[in-house]
Amino acid sequence: MADPSLDNLQLPQTMVNGQQRSEVSVLDRGLAYGDGLFETMRVVDGRIALLDYHLARLRRGLLALKMDADQTAIISELNALAGQLGDGVLKMTLTRGIGKRGYGIPAQAQPTRICQSFAPTGYPIENARTGIRLFECQTRLAVQPLLAGIKHLNRLEQVLARSEWSDSIHAEGMVRDTLGNVIECTMSNLFMLHGERWVTPDLSGCGVQGVMRDYLIDRLGQAGESVEVRKVDFSTLLESTEVFCCNSLYGVWPVIGLADTSWSIGSRTRQAQRLAEQVIK
Amino acid sequence: MADPSLDNLQLPQTMVNGQQRSEVSVLDRGLAYGDGLFETMRVVDGRIALLDYHLARLRRGLLALKMDADQTAIISELNALAGQLGDGVLKMTLTRGIGKRGYGIPAQAQPTRICQSFAPTGYPIENARTGIRLFECQTRLAVQPLLAGIKHLNRLEQVLARSEWSDSIHAEGMVRDTLGNVIECTMSNLFMLHGERWVTPDLSGCGVQGVMRDYLIDRLGQAGESVEVRKVDFSTLLESTEVFCCNSLYGVWPVIGLADTSWSIGSRTRQAQRLAEQVIK
């Protein structure tokens, strides 16, 4: 656990390119076009949980967007900020940097690196203990293989999906693609137990490849579980015997309901939850 | 024409929410998620060309993103800035405003309004006179009816498409959707003469509904031309007898080539060009 006395300290200032600042230029292409990437990371005891997975996704994003960035500087800044934060959430945004008007990528573009510290998430502990209900979002994700999987700054689909409900009955919303496939939740990935195997949706057409998803695929595999990454239609979800959603901030939430369908929380979901807790608690 | 002495005046500062500023908070959702809209407007003799068309698109965007904004304040600020600018380009960005971490729309979100003045575009005059060649972009636009047509800040597809060429042979790039339909160019819309009718691609699945496109549909119709908005496959484009692209900054550029296909510049394209020049010169 982090030193409780840290709770009374002011959180570190927002850093922009290594300096304490909380604003960026209106010419930044992150603002103009969503031209950039971000990572939202859980910090526990001054350390970033699943840092290697976050960095791997960041590298995939840099490649997809044809961006370059000083990864050594990023890692050392993130570790330093995590040490100051102790326990909470660290968000890093990496934009293409400042540019003139127009879509063309500036030849001399210098990325803008923004690091923000936040207090720990305030999700109800019951979400993890007694499970959550999913809202069935009508917003569909467009199929765009060029941008699938990475965590870029073009997130209007998630904003629209999350705007569909405001009650406290639903802790998350399930989102399908425009072809009808089950893809993910607005801020989480989905796993479902189908027969004896875990299934998680293929994200080659859309969706965010969450780092907790990648970690659980690895760890469940090491624990002897079979995890299949494949297209998932709606009936496969409904016919599953256990369902959970996950992300790197809260770990695993068992899913107990979606519209008229109910699930009970099984031992296999609790096992996945324990694996998640090994890195975020 | 604008008073030539204005050329020596400094351009107006960037305005953020009506104040001279050139930065926005890193907490702005425009930066975090591309959660907002923009309009790029041609200013001629202190007046905004096609202002009503820009405002109509902005209103459609506000509706699609479930945003609200003080349109009276927007119009009066735009007109005042245009008067100061004289001749050039005015860009207005309207974001959801500042929010906490997370996709949920803040209940009390106050939009951020950013107005930027730019010098007139520096496109070669030959583009309009002798026509341009189109690059054939491999980047495909995803089909997302919820965001189609509006000018939102999620523009990574345009950034990727525009990054495909850097030569000066191609002034624009033609972009198709993931289904193969011809949709638009990276910063322009397309018209093609097919038989006796003008055809311009249907944008209900993706693409930006340009204000010059809307204006030309109206004015060509008034001039007795038939304009059909419909799905356009690649062969329809290639079989057309005249092709042009258009936007609100440069007007109309005749298209004379795409890969191995060539077109000559016909009288019908010159007519469309004159209609465009009526509002931007």
Is-contact A197 A204, C-beta < 8 A?
A: no
* Cβ atoms B91, B220 nearer than 8 A: no
Measured in angstroms, the CA of B165 and the nearest CA of chain A are apart by 9
Which of A130, A139, A134, A132 has its CA nearest to residue A258? A134
Dig out the tokens for A261 from the structure.
């369908």
pLDDT(B11) > 70: no
Contact B133, B170 (CB under 8 A): yes
* The pair of three-digit structure tokens given for residue A73, joined into one six-digit string: 């500087």
Average pLDDT, chain B: 94
Does the distance separating the beta carbons of A163 and B104 come in below 8 Å?
Answer: yes
Could you list the active site residues of A?
40, 151, 184
List the single residue in B with minimal CA-CA distance to A166: B104
* Pick among A31, A113, A167, A250 to test the B interface (most B CBs inside 10 A): A31
Nearest by CB: A23 against B26, B114, B143: B26
| Minimum Cα–Cα distance from B158: chain A residue | A103
Partner-chain contact A142 B139, CB within 8 Å: no
B 212-251 residues with CB below 8 A of A? none
Question: Which of B26, B40, B116 is closest, CB to CB, to A24?
Answer: B26
Does residue A14 sit at the B interface (CB-CB below 8 Å)? Answer: yes
pLDDT of residue B281: 85
Report yes or no for ipTM above 0.90: yes
Is B146 a residue whose pLDDT tops 90? yes
> Domain B4-118 class?
alpha beta
Residue B100 known to be catalytic: no
% of chain B surpassing 70 pLDDT: 96
pLDDT of B7 reads 44
Measured in whole angstroms, the distance separating CA B47 from the mean position of its chain's CA atoms is: 18
- Does A40 contact chain B (CB < 8 Å)? yes
Q: Residue A24's pLDDT is what?
A: 96
For residue B10, is pLDDT > 90?
no
B231 is catalytic: no
Give residue A258's pLDDT: 98
The pLDDT, as a whole number, for residue B109 is 87
pLDDT number for residue A281: 85
What would the two tokens of residue A29 be?
């292409």
Would an 8 Å CB–CB cutoff place A270 in contact with chain B? no
For residue B103, give the nearest of A33, A93, A159 by CB distance: A159
Distance (Å, rounded) from C-alpha A132 to C-alpha A256? 6
Spatial contact of B78 and B51, defined as CB atoms under 8 Å apart: yes
Cα dihedral value A221, A227, A229, A231, nearest 10? 180
Structure tokens at B98: 């500042």
* Burial tier of A91 (Cβ tally within 10 Å: 0-12, 13-18, 19+): middle
In three-state form (DSSP H/G/I as H, E/B as E, the rest C), the secondary structure along chain A is CCCHHHHHCCCCCCEECCEECCEEECCEHHHHHCCEEEEEEEEECCEECCHHHHHHHHHHHHHHCCCCCCHHHHHHHHHHHHHHHCCEEEEEEEECCECCCCCCCCCCCCCEEEEEEECCCCCCHHHHHHCEEEEEEEEEECCCCCCCECCECCCHHHHHHHCCCCCCCEEEEEEEECCCCEEEECCCEEEEEECCEEEEECCCCCCECCHHHHHHHHHHHHCCCCEEEECCCHHHHHHCCEEEEEECCCEEEEEEEECCEECCCCHHHHHHHHHHHHHHC
Of the CATH numbers 3.40.309.10, 3.40.50.300, 3.90.420.10, 3.20.10.10, which one belongs to the domain with range A125-280? 3.20.10.10
Q: Which of A179, A203, A180 is nearest to A191 (CA)?
A: A203
At A132, give phi and psi (nearest 5°): -130, 165
Amino acid in the structure at residue A262: S
| Per-domain residue ranges of chain B | 4-118, 126-280
Q: Mean pLDDT over residues B64-84, rounded? A: 95
Regions of chain A with pLDDT less than 70: 1-12
DSSP B119: P
Question: Can A4-118 and A125-280 be said to share one CATH topology?
Answer: no
Partner B contacted by A63 (CB < 8 A):
no
Tokens 């006796």 label which residue? B196
Is B40 annotated as catalytic? yes
Is the Cβ pair B28, A31 closer than 8 Å?
yes
Q: What residue has token string 């016919």?
A: A239
The burial of B274, by beta-carbon neighbours within 10 Å (0-12 exposed, 13-18 middle, 19 or more buried), is given as: middle
**B144–A142 C-beta distance less than 8 A:** yes
Phi and psi torsions of A251, nearest 5°: 90, -115
> Do B31 and A163 lie within an 8 Å CB cutoff?
no
CB–CB of A91 and B102 under 8 A? no
Distance of residue A36 Cα from the nearest chain B Cα, in angstroms? 9
CB contact under 8 A, B24 and A26: yes
Chain B neighbors of A166, CB-CB under 8 A:
104
CA distance B69 to B111: 7
Of A28, A103, A116, the CB nearest to B186: A103
Among B25, B140, B142, select the one facing A22 at the smallest CB separation: B25
Residue A33 in contact with partner chain B when CB distance is under 8 A = yes
Task: Out of B93, B112, B151, B269, pick the active-site residue.
Answer: B151
The continuous run of DSSP H or E covering B12 comes out as none
Identify which of A22, A144, A163 has the shortest CB distance to residue B26: A22
Q: Give dist(CA B219, CA B53) in Å, integer.
A: 13
Contact across the interface for A153 and B32, Cβ inside 8 Å: yes
Q: Report A:146-165 residues touching B (Cβ under 8 A).
A: 146-147, 152-163
CB-count burial class (<10 Å; 0-12, 13-18, 19+) for A180? exposed
* Class for the domain spanning B126-280: alpha beta
Query: Distance (Å, rounded) from C-alpha B227 to C-alpha B216?
Result: 9
Q: Which of B23, B34, B206 is closest, CB to CB, to A24? A: B23
Residue A185 distance to chain B (closest CA, Å):
12
**Beta-carbon neighbour count of residue B101 at 10 Å?**
15
Over residues B181-197, mean pLDDT: 97
Is-contact A176 A240, C-beta < 8 A? no
Q: Which residues of A touch B28 (CB under 8 A)?
A: 31
Contacts of B157 in chain A (CB under 8 A): 144, 146-147
Note whether B146 contacts A158, CB cutoff 8 Å: no
- Best mutation site among A24, A66, A103 for testing chain B: the one with the most B CBs within 10 Å? A103
Gap between the terminal Cα atoms of chain A: 8
Q: Does the beta carbon of A116 lie under 8 angstroms from any beta carbon of chain B?
A: yes
